[in-house]
Amino acid sequence: MKPSSYIFIGLLACALSTGALAQSQASAPKSTTLVTLPGKSSDSALPASFAGWQKVAGSRAATSPGQADPANADLLKEYGFVDSENATYERGDRKLTVKAERFSDTTGAYGAFSFYRQPSMAKEKLCDQGASDGTHVLFYCTNVFLDINLDKVTAMSASELRELAKAIPKVAGNLAEAPKIALYLPAAVRENAKYVAGPIGLDKLDAPLKSSQVDYSLSPEVVIGKVRSVDGIANVALIQYPTPKIAQAQLQKLEQWGKSFKPVEGGMNEFVSKRSGPIIALVMGEIADTGAKALLSDINYDAEITWSEPTFNGAKDNIGNLVYNDMVLAFMIVAFMFVVGIAFGGFRVFMKKFFPGRLVDRPEDIEFIKLDLKE
């Protein structure tokens, strides 16, 4: 084989490998690295100023739940306490105090908000959720819970607190997701329900249901609210387990425990239960059987489906993209062959014209043996 043939084959192989590489790079999905920042931050959770209010020097920071609330330190730890800050703000002769508690995610802040919120508090539209009782205001913004005491309430107080809410640093993504279990409660019960993250919080509540009946080794979520009936006060509890099968097994145990409920003197002590998917609903206390069942009829689990498969064909799985890349590769090869053919033919013409018999069509290359077979 001539040297020029080797050169041609080598160039063709390079072209094919280059086209294949370009196709694989075009079809390969681009990788994205997601960095999740930890819940704890050295930055202050409270702004230096908002709506004309200026933070007074000397705010107190705490990194342990015992410093933030000695009476409920174990509860704050269960909610995922990170740090807290107590600050005083002044504007002219007015003054207000703010206590900000930061948690590892929104679940902890919501749990703290529900724990400190009192039944007498009115609902407020502040950040994610708020409540107030005169000059005492509570609300939370993603993973930060705020407890505020005003010197007085004015027509601008709500607007000023919304400015404060905007200045609070917030988390995003999964850390910003609040528990959804309370949404299954009837509206009348939901407003003052308590979200429980663990056995400590459940045992602190004034409710007949305790951690020994729930079995926290199975990772349940619990929310408990109170409802007033014509017969007195009843507790409505929702317990959500990871799977419906676990919930079914736990319901049988809870129904056995519910048989111990006996009517109180001069009244009643009802216990009614229901399972809907992975959620167990209980109504306990001073309420008629018909009233308890009416509450349970409003509690129905609605599965939330998250589609994890891609809803469209990416570059790698798109057959049209593959055909297009094949056509581009084919045109590249044809163009390359055309250029090589022109170069090869031009080179031969050039050598024949200016260097005849030197490199192309040399006599020794074109000679052939002639046999005289006539004789």
State the pLDDT confidence band at 36, using cuts at 50, 70 and 90.
very low
Q: 335-370: per-residue pLDDT in tens? A: 999 999 898 888 878 877 777 767 666 666 666 566
pTM over 0.75: no
Average pLDDT, the chain: 84
Where in the chain are all domains bearing CATH 3.40.1000? 48-178
Indicate left, alpha or beta for 266 from its phi (over 0: left) and psi (-120 to 50: alpha). left
Tell whether the model's pLDDT for residue 285 goes beyond 70.
yes
Tell whether the model's pLDDT for residue 2 goes beyond 90.
no
State the pLDDT confidence band at 321, using cuts at 50, 70 and 90.
confident
1.10.10, 1.20.1440, 3.40.1000, 2.60.40: which CATH number matches 48-178?
3.40.1000
Q: Mean pLDDT across the stretch 76-92?
A: 96
Helices (H), the chain: 3-27, 65-68, 73-79, 106-116, 157-167, 187-190, 199-204, 211-214, 244-258, 289-297, 319-354, 363-366
Tell whether the model's pLDDT for residue 307 goes beyond 80.
no
Q: 169-195: per-residue pLDDT in tens? A: 999 999 999 999 999 999 889 888 999
Tell whether the model's pLDDT for residue 69 goes beyond 90.
yes
Polymer length in residues for the chain: 375
pLDDT at residue number 375: 56
Q: 140-168: per-residue pLDDT in tens? A: 999 999 999 999 999 999 999 999 999 99
